[in-house]
């Protein structure tokens, strides 16, 4: 078998994700397909590139050697494709390519951006992996990325990206079945959930490590289910599991959202961009605010729209609005025009 760029890209994804399952999600393929592809690559080279362990995959000595040569090739190909697309796009009109992890602020943000930039083609790419989105911004595949960073689990930020902090610490709430014994409390004690099955999506960067750290600090070792949050919702509704959730989550008839005592789980909300990324969106000359972390002209407007959209989503979520009031959050007050 002759190695191709897609094979090298798969090897880099496995090394970065640390597991075949996470890498397959990032690559948009099934785990069995990725496992088969890795086996063929290893067979063509005559040795294992990764050691399979209970906690994931680790590069062997040969794997490290191959990766050291594969990464610049993959990066170079990404730059080639990005520059070619950019050259083609310059004649097609302005555009803004947004990447994001899940957030209820997205709808309001996109609405505001379309009003601000009526002639700009605005696209959105969702991903559970913040690190994958940041790599795409650095490689030119995206212009900006709105992501969350789990407390205690720093993101791997490529060099050269501009950063703005939207929320320094957003508390993570808990989703419970409406008839759960703790659902009647305004604030839930972590100890009251010790006997519950927790559900977590291990493909979300830092999510499992962050939860494990908090549960361990509380002396808890509950059973944990791994799966996506769409599946989690159906299990939570019938009392089969509980799960962390964003405070902007909207409760349902069969499910409630509650804050945890002392807010042990938290994330930081961040907006990243490449220097000059806003030029292609047709807003390079709009405004002169360079931003707290150095993003260029136009960045202030994009950030302001995201800030307004997040505040809107936060105030619409009743439980989160109550939390903001108890904690006298500045989110309760609109920024000066």
The per-residue pLDDT string of the chain (337 residues; one tens digit each, 9 = 90 and over) reads 788 889 999 999 999 888 898 888 888 888 888 999 999 999 999 999 999 887 788 899 999 989 988 888 888 887 777 667 666 665 566 889 999 999 999 999 999 999 988 888 999 999 988 999 999 999 888 999 999 999 999 999 999 999 999 999 999 999 999 999 999 999 999 999 999 999 998 888 899 999 999 999 999 999 999 888 778 888 999 999 999 999 999 888 999 999 999 999 999 999 999 887 776 666 654 333 334 454 544 688 899 999 999 999 999 999 999 999 999 998 887 765 4
Residue 87 has a pLDDT of: 64
Residue 185 has a pLDDT of: 94
Residue 75 has a pLDDT of: 81
Residue 164 has a pLDDT of: 95
Q: Is 245 helix (H, G, I), strand (E, B) or coil?
A: strand
CA pair distance 192, 258, nearest whole angstrom: 13
Residue 85 has a pLDDT of: 65
Residue 230 has a pLDDT of: 79
CA pair distance 45, 1, nearest whole angstrom: 9
Paired sense of beta strands 224-226 and 198-200, if any: parallel
pTM confidence score: 0.75
Token pair for residue 47?
């040795």
Residue 298 has a pLDDT of: 63
Given its phi and psi angles, is residue 152 left (phi above 0), alpha (psi -120 to 50 degrees) or beta?
Answer: left
Q: Smallest Cα–Cα separation from 203: which of 174, 221, 226, 222?
A: 226
Residue 280 has a pLDDT of: 60
Residue 292 has a pLDDT of: 44
CA pair distance 179, 163, nearest whole angstrom: 42
Q: Which residue has the tokens 């519950």?
A: 196
Q: Is 16 helix (H, G, I), strand (E, B) or coil?
A: helix
CA pair distance 259, 188, nearest whole angstrom: 6
Residue 272 has a pLDDT of: 96
CA pair distance 50, 59, nearest whole angstrom: 4
DSSP 157: P
């Amino acid at each position: 078998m002759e190695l191709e760029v897609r094979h090298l890209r798969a090897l880099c994804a496995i090394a970065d994700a640390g597991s075949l399952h996470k890498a397959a999600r990032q690559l948009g393929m099934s785990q069995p397909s990725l496992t088969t592809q890795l086996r063929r690559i290893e067979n063509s080279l005559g040795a294992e590139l990764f050691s399979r362990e209970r906690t994931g995959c680790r590069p062997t000595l040969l794997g490290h050697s191959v990766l050291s040569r594969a990464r610049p090739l993959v990066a170079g190909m990404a730059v080639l494709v990005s520059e070619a697309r950019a050259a083609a796009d310059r004649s097609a009109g302005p555009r803004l390519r947004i990447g994001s992890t899940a957030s209820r602020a997205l709808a309001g943000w996109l609405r505001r951006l379309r009003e601000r930039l009526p002639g700009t083609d605005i696209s959105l790419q969702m991903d559970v992996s913040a690190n994958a989105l940041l790599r795409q911004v650095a490689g030119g595949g995206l212009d900006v990325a709105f992501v969350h960073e789990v407390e205690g689990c720093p993101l791997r930020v490529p060099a050269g990206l501009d950063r703005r902090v939207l929320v320094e610490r957003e508390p993570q709430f808990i989703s419970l079945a409406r008839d759960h014994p703790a659902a009647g409390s305004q604030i839930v004690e972590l100890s009251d959930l010790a006997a519950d099955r927790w559900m977590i999506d291990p493909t979300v960067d830092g999510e499992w490590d962050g939860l494990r750290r908090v549960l361990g600090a509380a002396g808890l070792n509950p059973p944990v289910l791994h799966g996506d949050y769409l599946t989690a919702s159906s299990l939570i509704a019938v009392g089969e599991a509980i799960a962390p959730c964003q405070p902007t989550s909207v409760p349902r008839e069969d499910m409630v959202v509650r804050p945890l005592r002392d807010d042990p789980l938290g994330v930081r909300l961040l907006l990243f961009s490449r220097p000059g990324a806003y030029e292609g969106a047709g807003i390079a000359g709009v405004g002169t605010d360079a931003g707290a972390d150095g993003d260029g002209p136009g960045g202030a407007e994009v950030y302001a729209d995201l800030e307004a959209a997040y505040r809107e989503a936060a105030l619409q979520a009743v439980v989160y609005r109550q939390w903001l009031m108890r904690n006298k959050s500045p989110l309760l007050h609109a920024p000066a025009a």
